[in-house]
């Protein structure tokens, strides 16, 4: 028998953060399912979501071999969104928390009241669940106003734990949206380990880097370079490896665009399953559109491990 675990390539790819490391070993979420599930978003050349594709519009390559899509779903279903806001001491500086509040307001605006679900988490040294997953809009705005920023920043640890809690709630179109200035000074986990965990439980991570109004690139070019480094660096890699994305909220307009894009992408996700390999080890996945003008973003692979139990996915 085998155990199937989906993970991002960083966990085993020495080209990631330098030295090769063992694949992360996240807590097990047993589903008793022997198929690998992939949630994918598709964009055109202008970055717009592409709806109405069928399974015939995709190619799935598993470890260099073509793999048949076993199940394909594209119908609309409610969105489950967990908002994870950085409540550490660094967010007090330069009205960053207010900038994060703007993004949260935009996210709530794009959710369908009473149909979509939303949760709110905050973190510093610890993770706090301020509102469990509930019909939108819930009490997100009220709970957000009660935040009091202080302490160190366990950004990567918080992403891992919030992702686990969201996964336990189920739902096919779900995502974790992280509102942060990008600082981390206390996490135990690395970005690669968090990416592997989020991928293994099929939770795309969207990161919105909030920028103080005093530090926006048009006023402070040096801060603009720092934000660009975050977007292109480890935090951006973490988001993209899970099938999510990263944005910089450098103005109210960019905050609105990021929120709308996140929710719209989730509504247009394609849900795909396939029969995995039984060969132990890392199996990279390349899910692509037959139309080479389209860009597909999805999880990057899975790991097969030997197990005396029946096949499970975690």
What three-state secondary structure class fits 143? Answer: helix
pLDDT tier for residue 185 given thresholds of 50, 70 and 90: confident
The structure tokens listed for 289 are 């559109």
Checking if the pLDDT of 197 tops 50, the result is: yes
Task: Determine what percent of the chain is predicted with pLDDT higher than 70.
Answer: 82
Q: Kindly list the structural domains of the chain, giving each domain's residue range(s) and its CATH number in brackets, ordered by start.
A: 79-267 (3.40.50.410)
CA dist 262 → 107, 140, 255 (Å): 8, 18, 11
Stretch 254-281: mean pLDDT, rounded?
91
Q: How many residues does the chain have?
A: 314
Cα gap 122→100, rounded to integer Å: 12
Q: Is the Cα dihedral 268, 269, 271, 277 positive or negative?
A: positive
- pLDDT of amino acid 218: 66
Name the 3-class secondary structure at 222.
helix
The confidence score (pLDDT) of residue 221 equals 62
Q: What is the pLDDT of residues 23-72, one digit of tens each?
A: 333 333 333 347 888 889 999 988 888 989 999 999 999 999 999 999 99
230-236 contacts, C-beta under 8 A, 24 or more apart: 230/182, 234/17, 234/191, 235/155, 235/182, 235/191, 235/207, 235/209, 236/207
* Verdict on whether the full-model pTM lies above 0.85: no
* Best CA proximity match to 38, nearest among 163, 160, 164, 202: 202
């Amino acid at each position: 028998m085998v155990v199937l675990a989906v993970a991002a390539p960083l966990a085993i790819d020495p080209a990631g953060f330098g030295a090769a490391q063992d694949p992360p070993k996240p807590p097990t979420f047993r589903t008793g399912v022997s198929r690998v599930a992939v949630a994918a978003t598709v964009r055109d050349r202008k970055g717009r979501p592409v709806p109405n594709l069928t399974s015939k519009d995709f190619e799935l390559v598993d470890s260099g071999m073509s793999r048949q899509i076993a199940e394909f779903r594209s119908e609309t279903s409610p969105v489950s969104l967990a908002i994870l806001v950085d409540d550490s001491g660094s967010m007090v500086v330069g009205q960053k928390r207010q900038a994060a509040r703007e993004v949260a307001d935009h996210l709530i605006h794009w959710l369908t009241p009473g149909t979509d679900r939303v949760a709110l988490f905050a973190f510093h040294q610890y993770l706090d669940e301020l509102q469990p997953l509930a019909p939108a809009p819930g009490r997100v705005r009220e709970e957000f106003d009660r935040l009091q920023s202080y302490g160190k920043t366990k950004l990567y640890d918080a992403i891992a734990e919030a992702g686990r809690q969201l996964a336990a709630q189920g739902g096919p179109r779900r995502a974790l949206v992280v509102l942060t200035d990008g600082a981390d000074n206390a996490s135990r986990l690395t970005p690669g380990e968090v990416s592997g965990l989020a991928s293994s439980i099929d939770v795309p991570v969207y990161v919105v880097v909030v920028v103080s109004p005093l530090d926006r690139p048009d006023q402070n070019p040096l801060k603009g370079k720092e934000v660009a480094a975050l977007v292109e660096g480890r935090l951006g890699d973490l988001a993209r490896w899970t099938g999510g994305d990263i944005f910089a909220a450098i103005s109210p307009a960019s905050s609105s665009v990021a929120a709308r894009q996140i929710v719209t992408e989730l509504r247009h996700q394609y849900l795909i399953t396939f029969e995995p390999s039984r060969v132990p080890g890392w199996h990279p996945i390349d899910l692509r559109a037959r139309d080479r003008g389209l860009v597909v973003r999805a999880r990057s692979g899975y790991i097969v491990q030997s197990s005396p139990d029946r096949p499970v996915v975690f």
